[in-house]
A and B are shown apart, each in its own frame.
Chain A
Protein backbone atom coordinates (compact mmCIF):
# COMPACT_ATOMS: atom_id res chain seq x y z
CA UNK A 1 0.00 0.00 0.00
CA UNK A 2 1.25 3.46 -0.82
CA UNK A 3 0.44 6.99 -1.82
CA UNK A 4 1.71 7.41 -5.38
CA UNK A 5 2.62 10.91 -6.56
CA UNK A 6 2.95 11.77 -10.23
CA UNK A 7 6.19 13.72 -10.75
CA UNK A 8 5.78 16.08 -13.68
CA UNK A 9 8.67 17.71 -15.50
CA UNK A 10 9.47 20.05 -18.36
CA UNK A 11 12.76 20.86 -20.06
CA UNK A 12 14.55 18.22 -17.97
CA UNK A 13 13.45 19.68 -14.66
CA UNK A 14 10.93 18.62 -12.08
CA UNK A 15 8.18 21.21 -11.73
CA UNK A 16 7.70 23.03 -8.46
CA UNK A 17 4.03 22.07 -8.56
CA UNK A 18 5.11 18.43 -8.43
CA UNK A 19 7.18 19.06 -5.32
CA UNK A 20 4.06 20.55 -3.76
CA UNK A 21 2.12 17.43 -4.76
CA UNK A 22 4.87 15.23 -3.33
CA UNK A 23 4.97 17.04 0.03
CA UNK A 24 1.16 16.86 0.14
CA UNK A 25 1.21 13.15 -0.74
CA UNK A 26 3.87 12.47 1.89
CA UNK A 27 1.69 14.12 4.53
CA UNK A 28 -1.29 11.97 3.51
CA UNK A 29 0.92 8.89 3.61
CA UNK A 30 1.91 9.86 7.15
CA UNK A 31 -1.78 10.24 8.11
CA UNK A 32 -2.51 6.78 6.69
CA UNK A 33 0.67 5.27 8.05
CA UNK A 34 1.86 4.10 4.65
CA UNK A 35 4.74 5.11 2.36
CA UNK A 36 4.79 7.86 -0.25
CA UNK A 37 6.26 6.97 -3.62
CA UNK A 38 6.79 8.93 -6.80
CA UNK A 39 6.37 7.99 -10.42
CA UNK A 40 8.21 9.81 -13.18
CA UNK A 41 7.80 9.12 -16.89
CA UNK A 42 10.68 10.21 -19.07
CA UNK A 43 14.07 11.60 -18.15
CA UNK A 44 15.24 14.59 -16.12
CA UNK A 45 18.58 16.05 -15.15
CA UNK A 46 17.54 16.30 -11.48
CA UNK A 47 18.74 13.56 -9.14
CA UNK A 48 15.64 11.51 -8.31
CA UNK A 49 17.10 10.16 -5.08
CA UNK A 50 16.85 13.75 -3.77
CA UNK A 51 13.06 13.44 -3.81
CA UNK A 52 13.55 11.60 -0.53
CA UNK A 53 13.95 15.01 1.09
CA UNK A 54 10.35 15.78 0.15
CA UNK A 55 9.06 12.51 1.56
CA UNK A 56 9.33 9.96 -1.24
CA UNK A 57 10.57 6.56 -0.07
CA UNK A 58 10.76 5.25 -3.60
CA UNK A 59 10.63 6.73 -7.09
CA UNK A 60 9.51 4.62 -10.02
CA UNK A 61 10.94 5.81 -13.29
CA UNK A 62 10.27 4.77 -16.85
CA UNK A 63 13.35 6.33 -18.39
CA UNK A 64 12.27 6.46 -21.98
CA UNK A 65 12.96 9.72 -23.79
CA UNK A 66 9.83 9.39 -25.89
CA UNK A 67 7.86 10.00 -22.69
CA UNK A 68 9.26 13.51 -22.32
CA UNK A 69 6.29 14.63 -24.42
CA UNK A 70 2.99 14.33 -22.62
CA UNK A 71 0.58 11.86 -24.20
CA UNK A 72 -2.28 11.42 -21.77
CA UNK A 73 -3.38 8.13 -23.31
CA UNK A 74 -0.08 6.26 -22.98
CA UNK A 75 0.76 7.96 -19.68
CA UNK A 76 -2.53 6.78 -18.20
CA UNK A 77 -1.89 3.16 -19.20
CA UNK A 78 1.55 3.15 -17.63
CA UNK A 79 0.43 4.84 -14.41
CA UNK A 80 -2.53 2.47 -14.11
CA UNK A 81 -0.15 -0.50 -14.32
CA UNK A 82 2.11 1.05 -11.69
CA UNK A 83 -0.90 1.56 -9.43
CA UNK A 84 -1.77 -2.12 -9.71
CA UNK A 85 1.81 -3.27 -9.24
CA UNK A 86 2.52 -1.06 -6.22
CA UNK A 87 -0.91 -1.40 -4.61
CA UNK A 88 -1.28 2.37 -4.41
CA UNK A 89 -4.39 3.51 -2.57
CA UNK A 90 -4.14 7.24 -3.12
CA UNK A 91 -2.73 8.87 -6.26
CA UNK A 92 -1.73 12.52 -6.27
CA UNK A 93 -1.33 14.88 -9.20
CA UNK A 94 -0.75 18.58 -9.34
CA UNK A 95 -3.85 20.16 -10.87
CA UNK A 96 -1.56 21.80 -13.41
CA UNK A 97 -1.84 21.42 -17.16
CA UNK A 98 -0.48 17.86 -17.21
CA UNK A 99 -2.58 16.85 -14.22
CA UNK A 100 -5.72 18.10 -15.94
CA UNK A 101 -4.91 15.90 -18.93
CA UNK A 102 -4.01 12.71 -17.06
CA UNK A 103 -5.89 12.55 -13.73
CA UNK A 104 -9.40 12.37 -15.27
CA UNK A 105 -8.31 9.61 -17.66
CA UNK A 106 -6.81 7.61 -14.82
CA UNK A 107 -9.97 8.09 -12.78
CA UNK A 108 -12.12 6.69 -15.59
CA UNK A 109 -9.70 3.83 -16.27
CA UNK A 110 -9.44 2.69 -12.65
CA UNK A 111 -13.00 3.70 -11.70
CA UNK A 112 -11.27 5.60 -8.90
CA UNK A 113 -12.95 8.76 -7.61
CA UNK A 114 -11.21 12.04 -8.44
CA UNK A 115 -11.20 15.36 -6.64
CA UNK A 116 -9.61 17.94 -8.92
CA UNK A 117 -8.47 21.28 -7.58
CA UNK A 118 -7.95 20.17 -3.98
CA UNK A 119 -6.71 22.90 -1.63
CA UNK A 120 -6.26 21.08 1.68
CA UNK A 121 -5.34 17.73 3.18
CA UNK A 122 -8.12 15.14 3.23
CA UNK A 123 -10.29 14.82 6.28
CA UNK A 124 -10.17 11.14 7.16
CA UNK A 125 -12.17 11.29 10.40
CA UNK A 126 -15.38 10.23 8.63
CA UNK A 127 -14.62 8.63 5.31
CA UNK A 128 -12.22 10.47 3.03
CA UNK A 129 -13.27 14.02 2.24
CA UNK A 130 -11.28 16.53 0.25
CA UNK A 131 -11.85 20.27 0.04
CA UNK A 132 -11.78 21.79 -3.43
CA UNK A 133 -12.60 25.14 -4.99
CA UNK A 134 -15.96 25.42 -6.77
CA UNK A 135 -17.86 28.32 -8.36
CA UNK A 136 -14.54 29.61 -9.70
CA UNK A 137 -13.06 30.32 -6.30
CA UNK A 138 -16.23 31.86 -4.86
CA UNK A 139 -16.82 28.79 -2.65
CA UNK A 140 -15.39 25.46 -1.56
CA UNK A 141 -16.91 21.99 -1.56
CA UNK A 142 -16.00 19.03 0.58
CA UNK A 143 -16.11 16.01 -1.68
CA UNK A 144 -16.24 12.41 -0.44
CA UNK A 145 -14.16 9.93 -2.40
CA UNK A 146 -16.23 6.77 -2.21
CA UNK A 147 -13.93 4.34 -3.99
CA UNK A 148 -11.18 2.08 -2.71
CA UNK A 149 -8.52 3.79 -4.83
CA UNK A 150 -8.64 7.59 -4.64
CA UNK A 151 -7.20 10.30 -6.86
CA UNK A 152 -6.55 13.88 -5.83
CA UNK A 153 -5.19 16.66 -7.98
CA UNK A 154 -3.83 19.50 -5.87
CA UNK A 155 -4.20 23.12 -6.95
CA UNK A 156 -0.81 24.75 -7.55
CA UNK A 157 0.34 27.03 -4.70
CA UNK A 158 -2.01 25.38 -2.19
CA UNK A 159 0.53 23.35 -0.22
CA UNK A 160 3.94 24.46 0.91
CA UNK A 161 7.07 22.73 -0.32
CA UNK A 162 9.32 21.86 2.58
CA UNK A 163 12.45 19.80 2.43
CA UNK A 164 12.70 17.54 5.47
CA UNK A 165 15.37 15.26 6.78
CA UNK A 166 14.29 12.20 4.76
CA UNK A 167 17.11 10.08 3.33
CA UNK A 168 17.65 9.33 -0.33
CA UNK A 169 14.70 7.85 -2.18
CA UNK A 170 15.21 4.44 -3.74
CA UNK A 171 15.03 4.86 -7.52
CA UNK A 172 13.51 1.86 -9.29
CA UNK A 173 13.41 1.40 -13.02
CA UNK A 174 9.92 0.55 -14.17
CA UNK A 175 9.56 -1.53 -17.28
CA UNK A 176 6.62 -0.46 -19.30
CA UNK A 177 5.42 -0.99 -22.80
CA UNK A 178 5.38 2.49 -24.30
CA UNK A 179 2.79 2.79 -27.06
CA UNK A 180 3.56 5.03 -30.00
CA UNK A 181 1.81 8.30 -29.15
CA UNK A 182 -1.23 9.13 -31.25
CA UNK A 183 -0.53 12.82 -30.81
CA UNK A 184 2.41 14.25 -32.71
CA UNK A 185 3.98 17.43 -31.33
CA UNK A 186 4.58 19.77 -34.25
CA UNK A 187 6.00 22.71 -32.34
CA UNK A 188 6.36 24.51 -29.03
CA UNK A 189 6.39 28.26 -28.46
CA UNK A 190 7.18 29.86 -25.16
CA UNK A 191 5.06 32.98 -25.10
CA UNK A 192 5.01 34.57 -21.70
CA UNK A 193 7.86 35.99 -19.66
CA UNK A 194 10.33 33.98 -17.68
CA UNK A 195 7.93 32.99 -14.90
CA UNK A 196 4.90 30.85 -15.93
CA UNK A 197 1.71 32.43 -14.64
CA UNK A 198 0.29 29.30 -13.00
CA UNK A 199 3.48 28.63 -11.06
CA UNK A 200 4.31 32.20 -10.10
CA UNK A 201 4.42 33.22 -6.45
CA UNK A 202 3.96 36.86 -7.36
CA UNK A 203 1.79 38.19 -10.19
CA UNK A 204 1.65 41.78 -11.45
CA UNK A 205 -1.50 42.41 -13.44
CA UNK A 206 -2.79 45.32 -15.50
CA UNK A 207 -6.26 46.38 -16.62
CA UNK A 208 -7.90 48.85 -18.93
CA UNK A 209 -6.80 51.65 -16.61
CA UNK A 210 -3.37 51.41 -18.26
CA UNK A 211 -4.86 52.88 -21.45
CA UNK A 212 -2.85 50.94 -24.03
CA UNK A 213 -0.25 48.24 -24.70
CA UNK A 214 2.53 50.83 -24.96
CA UNK A 215 2.21 51.40 -21.21
CA UNK A 216 3.07 47.87 -20.16
CA UNK A 217 6.77 48.60 -19.83
CA UNK A 218 6.39 49.59 -16.19
CA UNK A 219 4.27 46.49 -15.46
CA UNK A 220 6.97 44.28 -16.95
CA UNK A 221 9.71 46.11 -15.11
CA UNK A 222 7.96 45.76 -11.76
CA UNK A 223 7.29 42.07 -12.48
CA UNK A 224 10.88 41.44 -13.41
CA UNK A 225 12.18 43.06 -10.23
CA UNK A 226 9.83 40.94 -8.11
CA UNK A 227 10.54 37.78 -10.12
CA UNK A 228 6.82 37.82 -10.89
CA UNK A 229 4.66 36.75 -13.81
CA UNK A 230 2.48 39.25 -15.67
CA UNK A 231 -1.28 38.96 -16.11
CA UNK A 232 -4.17 41.10 -17.35
CA UNK A 233 -7.94 41.53 -17.27
CA UNK A 234 -10.16 40.16 -20.00
CA UNK A 235 -10.80 43.36 -22.00
CA UNK A 236 -7.04 43.89 -22.18
CA UNK A 237 -6.56 40.46 -23.76
CA UNK A 238 -9.64 40.91 -25.97
CA UNK A 239 -8.18 44.15 -27.31
CA UNK A 240 -4.93 42.26 -28.01
CA UNK A 241 -2.94 44.58 -25.78
CA UNK A 242 -1.62 41.42 -24.15
CA UNK A 243 -1.58 37.72 -25.18
CA UNK A 244 -4.73 35.80 -24.26
CA UNK A 245 -2.81 33.38 -22.05
CA UNK A 246 -2.28 36.26 -19.61
CA UNK A 247 -6.03 36.73 -19.13
CA UNK A 248 -7.02 35.82 -15.58
CA UNK A 249 -10.51 35.44 -14.20
CA UNK A 250 -13.59 33.33 -14.46
CA UNK A 251 -13.12 32.74 -18.17
CA UNK A 252 -9.35 32.94 -18.17
CA UNK A 253 -6.79 31.34 -15.91
CA UNK A 254 -7.38 30.92 -12.18
CA UNK A 255 -4.35 31.65 -10.07
CA UNK A 256 -3.49 31.65 -6.36
CA UNK A 257 -0.14 33.37 -5.93
CA UNK A 258 1.20 34.63 -2.61
CA UNK A 259 0.92 38.18 -3.91
CA UNK A 260 -1.34 39.60 -6.62
CA UNK A 261 -0.82 43.24 -7.59
CA UNK A 262 -3.75 44.63 -9.60
CA UNK A 263 -3.06 47.90 -11.41
CA UNK A 264 -5.87 49.79 -13.15
CA UNK A 265 -8.31 46.89 -12.78
CA UNK A 266 -11.82 47.61 -11.49
CA UNK A 267 -12.32 44.24 -9.77
CA UNK A 268 -15.43 42.92 -11.54
CA UNK A 269 -16.83 39.74 -10.03
CA UNK A 270 -15.63 37.70 -13.02
CA UNK A 271 -12.10 39.02 -12.59
CA UNK A 272 -12.10 38.32 -8.85
CA UNK A 273 -13.21 34.75 -9.50
CA UNK A 274 -9.81 33.97 -10.97
CA UNK A 275 -7.64 35.73 -8.40
CA UNK A 276 -9.50 35.74 -5.08
CA UNK A 277 -7.50 32.81 -3.74
CA UNK A 278 -4.31 34.90 -3.83
CA UNK A 279 -2.91 35.14 -0.31
CA UNK A 280 -2.28 38.88 -0.42
CA UNK A 281 -3.97 41.27 -2.85
CA UNK A 282 -2.68 44.78 -3.57
CA UNK A 283 -4.86 47.16 -5.58
CA UNK A 284 -3.72 50.34 -7.28
CA UNK A 285 -6.63 52.28 -8.74
CA UNK A 286 -7.44 55.97 -9.06
CA UNK A 287 -11.08 55.40 -8.17
CA UNK A 288 -11.60 54.92 -4.40
CA UNK A 289 -14.97 53.28 -5.20
CA UNK A 290 -13.43 50.56 -7.37
CA UNK A 291 -14.92 47.24 -6.17
CA UNK A 292 -11.47 45.66 -6.09
CA UNK A 293 -10.63 47.51 -2.86
CA UNK A 294 -13.23 45.36 -1.06
CA UNK A 295 -11.23 42.25 -1.92
CA UNK A 296 -7.83 43.80 -1.26
CA UNK A 297 -5.43 43.57 1.66
CA UNK A 298 -3.44 46.66 0.73
CA UNK A 299 -4.27 49.48 -1.61
CA UNK A 300 -3.24 52.80 -3.01
CA UNK A 301 -5.85 55.20 -4.35
CA UNK A 302 -3.86 56.95 -7.02
CA UNK A 303 -2.83 57.29 -10.63
CA UNK A 304 -0.93 54.21 -11.81
CA UNK A 305 1.32 56.34 -14.01
CA UNK A 306 2.56 58.17 -10.92
CA UNK A 307 2.44 55.36 -8.37
CA UNK A 308 4.01 52.47 -10.29
CA UNK A 309 7.32 54.21 -11.13
CA UNK A 310 7.68 55.08 -7.46
CA UNK A 311 6.94 51.48 -6.50
CA UNK A 312 9.63 50.36 -8.92
CA UNK A 313 12.13 52.66 -7.22
CA UNK A 314 11.13 51.36 -3.79
CA UNK A 315 11.54 47.75 -4.86
CA UNK A 316 14.93 48.55 -6.38
CA UNK A 317 15.98 50.05 -3.09
CA UNK A 318 14.73 47.03 -1.16
CA UNK A 319 16.52 44.60 -3.44
CA UNK A 320 19.66 46.71 -3.55
CA UNK A 321 19.40 47.26 -7.32
CA UNK A 322 20.57 50.63 -8.57
Chain B
Protein backbone atom coordinates (compact mmCIF):
# COMPACT_ATOMS: atom_id res chain seq x y z
CA UNK B 1 0.00 0.00 0.00
CA UNK B 2 1.38 3.37 -1.06
CA UNK B 3 -0.32 6.56 0.08
CA UNK B 4 0.30 10.13 -1.06
CA UNK B 5 -0.76 12.88 1.34
CA UNK B 6 -1.07 16.47 0.08
CA UNK B 7 0.22 18.94 2.65
CA UNK B 8 -0.19 22.69 2.43
CA UNK B 9 1.11 25.56 4.50
CA UNK B 10 -1.36 28.11 5.89
CA UNK B 11 -1.28 31.04 8.32
CA UNK B 12 -2.10 30.13 11.91
CA UNK B 13 -5.83 30.28 12.63
CA UNK B 14 -5.41 33.36 14.83
CA UNK B 15 -3.23 35.26 12.32
CA UNK B 16 -4.18 38.85 11.68
CA UNK B 17 -5.34 39.19 8.10
CA UNK B 18 -4.02 42.31 6.38
CA UNK B 19 -2.94 43.24 2.85
CA UNK B 20 -0.33 45.52 1.29
CA UNK B 21 0.71 46.84 -2.14
CA UNK B 22 -2.72 48.18 -2.98
CA UNK B 23 -4.43 45.15 -1.44
CA UNK B 24 -2.70 42.74 -3.79
CA UNK B 25 -0.49 40.89 -1.28
CA UNK B 26 -1.05 39.24 2.08
CA UNK B 27 1.03 40.76 4.89
CA UNK B 28 3.06 37.76 6.04
CA UNK B 29 5.26 39.64 8.58
CA UNK B 30 4.92 38.15 12.01
CA UNK B 31 2.54 35.47 10.79
CA UNK B 32 3.05 32.02 12.19
CA UNK B 33 2.70 29.27 9.59
CA UNK B 34 1.14 25.92 10.29
CA UNK B 35 0.21 22.76 8.41
CA UNK B 36 -3.29 23.30 7.06
CA UNK B 37 -5.41 21.77 9.88
CA UNK B 38 -7.41 19.45 7.61
CA UNK B 39 -4.21 18.07 6.06
CA UNK B 40 -2.57 17.55 9.44
CA UNK B 41 -5.36 16.44 11.77
CA UNK B 42 -7.33 14.27 9.38
CA UNK B 43 -5.54 13.31 6.14
CA UNK B 44 -2.09 12.77 7.61
CA UNK B 45 -3.18 11.21 10.90
CA UNK B 46 -5.49 8.74 9.15
CA UNK B 47 -2.66 7.73 6.81
CA UNK B 48 -0.38 7.22 9.83
CA UNK B 49 -3.04 5.05 11.47
CA UNK B 50 -3.25 2.93 8.33
CA UNK B 51 0.52 2.46 8.46
CA UNK B 52 0.34 1.52 12.13
CA UNK B 53 -2.10 -1.25 11.18
CA UNK B 54 -0.08 -2.40 8.20
CA UNK B 55 3.61 -1.48 8.63
CA UNK B 56 4.39 -2.29 5.00
CA UNK B 57 2.44 0.84 4.04
CA UNK B 58 4.54 3.61 2.52
CA UNK B 59 3.57 7.22 3.18
CA UNK B 60 4.74 10.01 0.90
CA UNK B 61 3.98 13.64 1.63
CA UNK B 62 3.86 16.20 -1.15
CA UNK B 63 3.70 19.97 -1.07
CA UNK B 64 3.84 22.64 -3.73
CA UNK B 65 5.81 25.52 -2.28
CA UNK B 66 9.11 27.35 -2.14
CA UNK B 67 11.82 26.68 0.44
CA UNK B 68 9.90 28.39 3.25
CA UNK B 69 7.55 25.38 3.24
CA UNK B 70 10.38 23.12 4.46
CA UNK B 71 9.71 23.63 8.21
CA UNK B 72 6.06 22.73 7.62
CA UNK B 73 6.83 19.57 5.73
CA UNK B 74 9.41 18.59 8.38
CA UNK B 75 6.75 19.03 11.03
CA UNK B 76 4.47 16.78 9.02
CA UNK B 77 7.28 14.21 8.81
CA UNK B 78 7.65 14.44 12.59
CA UNK B 79 4.06 13.31 12.98
CA UNK B 80 4.73 10.37 10.66
CA UNK B 81 5.38 9.51 7.04
CA UNK B 82 8.38 8.07 5.27
CA UNK B 83 9.49 10.75 2.88
CA UNK B 84 8.45 14.09 1.52
CA UNK B 85 8.54 15.71 -1.87
CA UNK B 86 8.49 19.47 -2.26
CA UNK B 87 7.67 20.76 -5.71
CA UNK B 88 9.69 23.93 -5.79
CA UNK B 89 7.17 26.50 -6.97
CA UNK B 90 5.01 29.26 -5.58
CA UNK B 91 1.49 27.89 -5.60
CA UNK B 92 -0.29 29.92 -8.30
CA UNK B 93 -3.83 28.59 -8.32
CA UNK B 94 -5.64 25.37 -7.47
CA UNK B 95 -5.26 23.98 -10.98
CA UNK B 96 -1.54 24.72 -11.02
CA UNK B 97 -1.11 22.93 -7.68
CA UNK B 98 -3.22 19.94 -8.73
CA UNK B 99 -1.40 19.60 -12.05
CA UNK B 100 2.00 19.67 -10.29
CA UNK B 101 0.91 17.02 -7.80
CA UNK B 102 -0.54 14.94 -10.65
CA UNK B 103 2.95 14.71 -12.19
CA UNK B 104 4.32 13.27 -8.94
CA UNK B 105 1.31 10.98 -8.52
CA UNK B 106 1.72 9.52 -12.02
CA UNK B 107 5.30 8.49 -11.25
CA UNK B 108 4.52 7.06 -7.82
CA UNK B 109 1.76 4.50 -8.54
CA UNK B 110 -0.12 5.40 -5.35
CA UNK B 111 -3.05 3.31 -4.17
CA UNK B 112 -4.56 6.16 -2.25
CA UNK B 113 -4.28 9.96 -2.33
CA UNK B 114 -5.45 12.04 0.62
CA UNK B 115 -6.05 15.77 0.65
CA UNK B 116 -7.60 18.02 3.27
CA UNK B 117 -11.15 19.28 2.83
CA UNK B 118 -9.86 22.75 1.99
CA UNK B 119 -7.04 25.15 2.69
CA UNK B 120 -8.03 27.61 5.42
CA UNK B 121 -6.49 30.52 3.48
CA UNK B 122 -7.67 30.01 -0.11
CA UNK B 123 -10.79 27.95 0.76
CA UNK B 124 -10.81 26.35 -2.68
CA UNK B 125 -11.95 22.84 -1.81
CA UNK B 126 -10.69 22.20 -5.31
CA UNK B 127 -7.26 20.59 -5.46
CA UNK B 128 -8.49 17.07 -4.66
CA UNK B 129 -11.20 17.03 -7.33
CA UNK B 130 -8.88 18.49 -9.94
CA UNK B 131 -6.21 15.95 -9.09
CA UNK B 132 -8.70 13.08 -9.38
CA UNK B 133 -9.78 14.28 -12.82
CA UNK B 134 -6.20 14.70 -14.04
CA UNK B 135 -5.47 11.14 -12.92
CA UNK B 136 -8.86 9.82 -14.11
CA UNK B 137 -9.62 8.43 -10.64
CA UNK B 138 -12.79 8.37 -8.55
CA UNK B 139 -13.01 11.14 -5.97
CA UNK B 140 -14.78 11.10 -2.62
CA UNK B 141 -14.99 14.56 -1.12
CA UNK B 142 -15.59 15.68 2.47
CA UNK B 143 -14.95 12.26 4.01
CA UNK B 144 -15.82 11.85 7.69
CA UNK B 145 -14.72 8.19 8.00
CA UNK B 146 -12.25 6.06 6.09
CA UNK B 147 -11.76 2.30 6.36
CA UNK B 148 -9.66 0.00 4.24
CA UNK B 149 -10.19 -3.70 3.51
CA UNK B 150 -7.47 -4.91 1.18
CA UNK B 151 -8.02 -2.95 -2.00
CA UNK B 152 -11.49 -1.66 -1.21
CA UNK B 153 -12.16 1.52 0.73
CA UNK B 154 -15.33 2.20 2.69
CA UNK B 155 -15.71 5.94 3.00
CA UNK B 156 -18.41 7.93 4.75
CA UNK B 157 -18.88 11.41 3.35
CA UNK B 158 -20.97 14.39 4.30
CA UNK B 159 -24.14 15.05 2.30
CA UNK B 160 -26.75 17.74 2.93
CA UNK B 161 -28.40 16.87 6.24
CA UNK B 162 -26.62 13.58 6.72
CA UNK B 163 -23.98 11.14 5.64
CA UNK B 164 -23.52 8.63 2.86
CA UNK B 165 -21.33 5.55 2.96
CA UNK B 166 -19.55 4.66 -0.26
CA UNK B 167 -17.52 1.67 -1.38
CA UNK B 168 -14.81 2.09 -3.94
CA UNK B 169 -11.90 0.09 -5.29
CA UNK B 170 -8.47 1.66 -5.05
CA UNK B 171 -6.90 3.80 -6.35
CA UNK B 172 -9.01 6.75 -5.22
CA UNK B 173 -8.60 10.39 -4.17
CA UNK B 174 -10.25 11.32 -0.87
CA UNK B 175 -10.59 14.75 0.74
CA UNK B 176 -10.66 14.47 4.53
CA UNK B 177 -12.42 16.45 7.24
CA UNK B 178 -13.37 16.07 10.88
CA UNK B 179 -14.31 12.55 11.88
CA UNK B 180 -11.68 10.78 9.76
CA UNK B 181 -9.12 10.89 12.59
CA UNK B 182 -8.26 12.70 15.82
CA UNK B 183 -5.62 15.40 16.06
CA UNK B 184 -2.20 14.21 17.36
CA UNK B 185 0.84 15.94 18.82
CA UNK B 186 4.26 14.91 17.43
CA UNK B 187 6.44 13.13 20.00
CA UNK B 188 10.19 13.51 20.58
CA UNK B 189 11.02 10.32 18.69
CA UNK B 190 9.06 11.56 15.70
CA UNK B 191 10.76 14.95 15.78
CA UNK B 192 14.22 13.36 15.96
CA UNK B 193 13.56 10.90 13.16
CA UNK B 194 12.06 13.57 10.92
CA UNK B 195 15.49 15.20 10.67
CA UNK B 196 16.88 12.27 8.77
CA UNK B 197 13.87 11.40 6.67
CA UNK B 198 14.33 12.22 2.99
CA UNK B 199 12.89 15.55 1.81
CA UNK B 200 13.27 15.64 -1.94
CA UNK B 201 12.94 18.86 -3.91
CA UNK B 202 11.81 18.63 -7.51
CA UNK B 203 11.43 21.38 -10.08
CA UNK B 204 7.89 22.17 -11.29
CA UNK B 205 6.46 21.08 -14.63
CA UNK B 206 5.56 23.79 -17.16
CA UNK B 207 1.92 24.47 -16.32
CA UNK B 208 -0.18 27.58 -16.89
CA UNK B 209 -2.52 28.61 -14.08
CA UNK B 210 -6.13 29.29 -15.13
CA UNK B 211 -6.91 32.10 -12.68
CA UNK B 212 -5.10 34.92 -10.91
CA UNK B 213 -5.69 37.06 -7.84
CA UNK B 214 -6.51 40.66 -8.76
CA UNK B 215 -6.96 42.07 -5.25
CA UNK B 216 -8.05 41.34 -1.70
CA UNK B 217 -10.60 43.11 0.49
CA UNK B 218 -11.48 43.07 4.16
CA UNK B 219 -15.13 42.84 5.13
CA UNK B 220 -16.76 46.12 6.25
CA UNK B 221 -16.71 46.61 10.03
CA UNK B 222 -19.90 45.87 11.99
CA UNK B 223 -21.86 48.89 13.18
CA UNK B 224 -21.86 47.69 16.79
CA UNK B 225 -24.11 45.54 18.87
CA UNK B 226 -27.57 46.62 19.99
CA UNK B 227 -28.09 45.25 23.50
CA UNK B 228 -31.47 44.19 24.79
CA UNK B 229 -32.23 43.77 28.51
CA UNK B 230 -32.24 40.14 29.72
CA UNK B 231 -35.53 40.88 31.45
CA UNK B 232 -37.22 41.64 28.18
CA UNK B 233 -36.20 39.09 25.50
CA UNK B 234 -39.51 39.80 23.79
CA UNK B 235 -37.98 43.05 22.56
CA UNK B 236 -35.24 41.06 20.79
CA UNK B 237 -37.81 39.00 18.92
CA UNK B 238 -39.61 42.20 17.98
CA UNK B 239 -36.40 43.76 16.63
CA UNK B 240 -35.58 40.65 14.63
CA UNK B 241 -39.07 40.68 13.20
CA UNK B 242 -39.60 44.37 12.54
CA UNK B 243 -36.15 45.94 12.20
CA UNK B 244 -33.87 43.20 10.88
CA UNK B 245 -36.78 41.40 9.18
CA UNK B 246 -35.12 38.01 9.53
CA UNK B 247 -37.90 36.14 11.34
Taking Cβ atoms with an 8 Å cutoff, the residues of A that contact B are 10, 15, 71-73, 76, 95-97, 100-109, 111-117, 129, 131-147, 182-192, 195-199, 201-202, 226, 237, 244-245, 247, 250-252, 254, 258-259, 269-270, 273, 276-277, 279-280, 282-283, 293-303, 306-307, 310-311, 313-315, 317-318
Report whether A97 and B211 are in contact in the complex, using a CB–CB cutoff of 8 Å: no
Q: A114-B126, A134-B123 are in contact. Are A182 and B138 (CB under 8 A)?
A: yes
Report whether B227 and A202 are in contact in the complex, using a CB–CB cutoff of 8 Å: no
Complex: A254 Cα to B38 Cα, angstroms: 14
Name the one of B132, B211, B228 contacting A299, with C-beta atoms under 8 angstroms: B228
A-B residue pairs in contact (CB < 8 Å), sample of 13: A103-B126, A104-B129, A105-B130, A117-B124, A134-B216, A135-B121, A135-B123, A136-B121, A187-B164, A300-B230, A301-B230, A307-B230, A311-B233
Contacts beyond the supplied A72-B138, A189-B165: 6 A-B pairs with Cβ under 8 Å: A100-B125, A136-B121, A144-B213, A186-B154, A191-B161, A310-B234
Spot the interface stretch: B61-69, B70-78, B80-88, B237-245.
B237-245
Complex: A77 Cα to B218 Cα, angstroms: 38
Complex: A76 Cα to B131 Cα, angstroms: 13
Complex: A283 Cα to B139 Cα, angstroms: 39
- The interface residues of chain B lying within 8 Å CB-to-CB of A254 are 123
Name the one of B19, B123, B138, B163 contacting A245, with C-beta atoms under 8 angstroms: B163
B8 within 8 A of A: no
- The interface residues of chain B lying within 8 Å CB-to-CB of A250 are 13, 37, 120
- The interface residues of chain B lying within 8 Å CB-to-CB of A108 are 95, 98-99, 129-131, 133-134
Most chain A C-beta atoms within 10 Å of own C-beta, residue among B129, B159, B230: B129
Complex: A107 Cα to B125 Cα, angstroms: 13
B100 within 8 A of A: no
Closest B residue to A277 by CB, please name it: B219
- The interface residues of chain B lying within 8 Å CB-to-CB of A113 are 93, 95, 210-211
Closest A residue to B129 by CB, please name it: A104
Report whether B121 and A294 are in contact in the complex, using a CB–CB cutoff of 8 Å: no
Report whether B123 and A133 are in contact in the complex, using a CB–CB cutoff of 8 Å: yes
Q: A142-B213, A250-B120 are in contact. Are A299 and B227 (CB under 8 A)?
A: yes
Closest B residue to A278 by CB, please name it: B246
Name the one of A10, A107, A134, A299 contacting B225, with C-beta atoms under 8 angstroms: A299
Report whether B139 and A73 are in contact in the complex, using a CB–CB cutoff of 8 Å: yes
- The interface residues of chain B lying within 8 Å CB-to-CB of A301 are 227, 230
Q: A269-B14, A315-B237 are in contact. Are A245 and B158 (CB under 8 A)?
A: yes
B168 within 8 A of A: yes
Q: Size class of B's contact patch?
A: 35 or more
- The interface residues of chain B lying within 8 Å CB-to-CB of A279 are 246
- The interface residues of chain A lying within 8 Å CB-to-CB of B217 are 131, 139-142
Name the one of B131, B139, B161, B246 contacting A280, with C-beta atoms under 8 angstroms: B246
- The interface residues of chain B lying within 8 Å CB-to-CB of A198 are 160
Report whether A101 and B169 are in contact in the complex, using a CB–CB cutoff of 8 Å: no
Report whether A141 and B125 are in contact in the complex, using a CB–CB cutoff of 8 Å: no
Q: A191-B162, A302-B230 are in contact. Are A129 and B214 (CB under 8 A)?
A: yes
Q: A135-B121, A142-B213 are in contact. Are A189 and B163 (CB under 8 A)?
A: yes
B140 within 8 A of A: yes
Report whether B95 and A107 are in contact in the complex, using a CB–CB cutoff of 8 Å: yes
Q: A141-B216, A318-B241 are in contact. Are A189 and B132 (CB under 8 A)?
A: no
Complex: A133 Cα to B218 Cα, angstroms: 10
Q: A142-B213, A298-B239 are in contact. Are A105 and B228 (CB under 8 A)?
A: no
Complex: A310 Cα to B131 Cα, angstroms: 52
B204 within 8 A of A: no
- The interface residues of chain B lying within 8 Å CB-to-CB of A269 are 13-14
Report whether B236 and A298 are in contact in the complex, using a CB–CB cutoff of 8 Å: yes
Closest B residue to A293 by CB, please name it: B225
Report whether B160 and A196 are in contact in the complex, using a CB–CB cutoff of 8 Å: yes
Q: How far is the CB of B82 from chain A (nearest CB, A)?
A: 27
Q: How far is the CB of A148 from chain B (nearest CB, A)?
A: 10
- The interface residues of chain A lying within 8 Å CB-to-CB of B158 are 97, 245
B44 within 8 A of A: no
- The interface residues of chain B lying within 8 Å CB-to-CB of A258 are 246
- The interface residues of chain A lying within 8 Å CB-to-CB of B169 are 182
Report whether A105 and B211 are in contact in the complex, using a CB–CB cutoff of 8 Å: no
Complex: A129 Cα to B144 Cα, angstroms: 34
> Which chain B residues numbered 183 to 214 have a C-beta less than 8 Å away from chain A?
209-214
Report whether A244 and B179 are in contact in the complex, using a CB–CB cutoff of 8 Å: yes
